[in-house]
Protein backbone atom coordinates (compact mmCIF):
# COMPACT_ATOMS: atom_id res chain seq x y z
CA UNK A 1 0.00 0.00 0.00
CA UNK A 2 1.26 3.43 -0.91
CA UNK A 3 1.11 6.07 1.77
CA UNK A 4 1.46 9.70 0.83
CA UNK A 5 0.00 13.01 1.86
CA UNK A 6 -0.59 13.62 -1.79
CA UNK A 7 -2.25 10.32 -2.60
CA UNK A 8 -5.75 11.77 -2.73
CA UNK A 9 -4.51 14.56 -4.92
CA UNK A 10 -3.02 12.08 -7.38
CA UNK A 11 -6.21 10.03 -7.39
CA UNK A 12 -8.19 13.13 -8.31
CA UNK A 13 -5.65 14.24 -10.85
CA UNK A 14 -5.74 10.88 -12.59
CA UNK A 15 -9.54 10.70 -12.47
CA UNK A 16 -9.81 14.18 -13.96
CA UNK A 17 -7.82 12.90 -16.95
CA UNK A 18 -9.88 9.73 -17.28
CA UNK A 19 -7.02 7.64 -16.03
CA UNK A 20 -7.87 5.03 -13.43
CA UNK A 21 -5.80 5.46 -10.29
CA UNK A 22 -4.11 2.07 -10.36
CA UNK A 23 -1.41 0.94 -7.94
CA UNK A 24 1.16 1.33 -10.68
CA UNK A 25 0.14 4.84 -11.74
CA UNK A 26 -0.02 6.03 -8.15
CA UNK A 27 3.40 4.63 -7.40
CA UNK A 28 4.78 6.42 -10.45
CA UNK A 29 2.99 9.66 -9.50
CA UNK A 30 4.42 9.48 -6.03
CA UNK A 31 7.87 8.83 -7.37
CA UNK A 32 7.73 11.59 -9.98
CA UNK A 33 5.77 14.31 -8.26
CA UNK A 34 6.55 13.99 -4.52
CA UNK A 35 9.62 16.15 -4.82
CA UNK A 36 10.67 19.75 -4.63
CA UNK A 37 12.78 20.10 -7.70
CA UNK A 38 12.27 19.39 -11.36
CA UNK A 39 13.06 15.83 -12.34
CA UNK A 40 14.42 15.02 -15.78
CA UNK A 41 14.52 11.38 -16.82
CA UNK A 42 14.48 8.81 -19.56
CA UNK A 43 12.26 5.73 -19.51
CA UNK A 44 15.36 3.69 -18.84
CA UNK A 45 16.32 5.65 -15.73
CA UNK A 46 12.75 5.81 -14.46
CA UNK A 47 12.40 2.06 -14.84
CA UNK A 48 15.60 1.44 -12.91
CA UNK A 49 14.71 3.78 -10.07
CA UNK A 50 11.09 2.69 -9.76
CA UNK A 51 12.06 -0.97 -9.71
CA UNK A 52 15.19 -0.64 -7.60
CA UNK A 53 14.01 -2.00 -4.29
CA UNK A 54 12.56 -5.39 -3.55
CA UNK A 55 9.05 -4.04 -4.06
CA UNK A 56 6.62 -5.46 -6.60
CA UNK A 57 7.97 -4.63 -10.00
CA UNK A 58 6.17 -2.47 -12.51
CA UNK A 59 6.68 -3.80 -16.01
CA UNK A 60 8.64 -1.81 -18.56
CA UNK A 61 5.58 -1.74 -20.82
CA UNK A 62 3.62 -0.05 -18.04
CA UNK A 63 6.39 2.46 -17.49
CA UNK A 64 6.19 3.33 -21.19
CA UNK A 65 2.39 3.40 -21.17
CA UNK A 66 2.26 5.58 -18.09
CA UNK A 67 4.87 8.05 -19.24
CA UNK A 68 2.99 8.43 -22.50
CA UNK A 69 -0.38 8.81 -20.75
CA UNK A 70 1.06 11.38 -18.35
CA UNK A 71 2.62 13.31 -21.22
CA UNK A 72 -0.68 13.39 -23.11
CA UNK A 73 -2.49 14.39 -19.93
CA UNK A 74 0.00 17.22 -19.49
CA UNK A 75 1.71 16.00 -16.30
CA UNK A 76 5.00 15.59 -18.08
CA UNK A 77 6.80 17.32 -20.91
CA UNK A 78 8.83 15.45 -23.47
CA UNK A 79 12.25 16.92 -24.21
CA UNK A 80 13.98 15.93 -27.43
CA UNK A 81 17.58 16.72 -27.08
CA UNK A 82 19.45 13.48 -27.31
CA UNK A 83 19.91 11.05 -30.17
CA UNK A 84 17.65 8.00 -30.09
CA UNK A 85 16.28 8.65 -26.63
CA UNK A 86 13.44 10.73 -25.24
CA UNK A 87 13.75 12.68 -22.04
CA UNK A 88 10.82 13.68 -19.86
CA UNK A 89 10.47 16.57 -17.50
CA UNK A 90 8.25 17.00 -14.44
CA UNK A 91 8.44 20.75 -14.99
CA UNK A 92 5.57 21.46 -17.34
CA UNK A 93 5.88 25.22 -17.25
CA UNK A 94 7.42 26.88 -20.26
CA UNK A 95 11.16 26.92 -19.64
CA UNK A 96 14.52 26.19 -21.19
CA UNK A 97 17.44 23.82 -20.70
CA UNK A 98 21.10 23.28 -20.47
CA UNK A 99 22.03 19.91 -21.91
CA UNK A 100 25.38 18.57 -20.81
CA UNK A 101 26.85 16.57 -23.66
CA UNK A 102 29.21 14.80 -21.27
CA UNK A 103 26.88 13.66 -18.51
CA UNK A 104 23.84 13.69 -20.79
CA UNK A 105 21.88 15.57 -18.15
CA UNK A 106 19.33 18.33 -18.48
CA UNK A 107 19.17 21.33 -16.17
CA UNK A 108 16.34 23.81 -16.06
CA UNK A 109 16.69 27.41 -17.13
CA UNK A 110 13.79 29.45 -15.82
CA UNK A 111 11.88 31.45 -18.39
CA UNK A 112 13.03 34.68 -16.79
CA UNK A 113 16.69 33.75 -17.16
CA UNK A 114 16.40 34.05 -20.91
CA UNK A 115 15.02 37.11 -22.62
CA UNK A 116 14.01 36.98 -26.25
CA UNK A 117 13.71 40.52 -27.51
CA UNK A 118 12.94 39.44 -31.06
CA UNK A 119 11.04 36.39 -32.22
CA UNK A 120 10.10 35.63 -35.84
CA UNK A 121 6.52 35.42 -37.05
CA UNK A 122 5.50 31.82 -37.82
CA UNK A 123 4.75 30.85 -41.44
CA UNK A 124 1.24 31.68 -42.73
CA UNK A 125 -1.50 29.55 -41.23
CA UNK A 126 0.80 28.18 -38.54
CA UNK A 127 0.72 28.91 -34.83
CA UNK A 128 3.51 28.75 -32.30
CA UNK A 129 2.91 25.80 -30.03
CA UNK A 130 6.07 26.09 -28.01
CA UNK A 131 9.43 27.84 -28.02
CA UNK A 132 12.38 26.23 -26.38
CA UNK A 133 16.00 27.20 -26.04
CA UNK A 134 18.53 24.44 -25.62
CA UNK A 135 22.04 25.37 -24.62
CA UNK A 136 24.48 22.54 -25.15
CA UNK A 137 27.34 22.63 -22.70
CA UNK A 138 30.62 20.81 -22.27
CA UNK A 139 33.66 20.80 -19.99
Torsion region of 51: left, alpha or beta (phi above 0 gives left; psi -120 to 50 gives alpha): alpha
92 binds its own copies (CB under 8 A): no
| Cβ-based nearer residue to Mn ion, 8 or 104 | 104
| Cβ-based nearer residue to its own copies, 26 or 79 | 79
Per-residue DSSP letters for 18-52? T----HHHHHHHHHHHSSSS--EE-HHHHHHHHT-
120 binds, among Mn ion, Zn ion, its own copies, none (CB under 5 to 8 A by kind): its own copies
Cα distance from N-terminal residue to C-terminal residue, the chain? 44
CB of 119 to Mn ion, least distance (A): 32
State the residues that interact with DNA by CB under 7 A.
15, 18-25, 42-44, 56-62, 64-66, 68, 83-86
Amino acid sequence: MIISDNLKMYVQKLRSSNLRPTKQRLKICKFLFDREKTFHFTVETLNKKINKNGATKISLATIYNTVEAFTIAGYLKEILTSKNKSYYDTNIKSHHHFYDEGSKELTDIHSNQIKLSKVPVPPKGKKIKNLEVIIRIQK
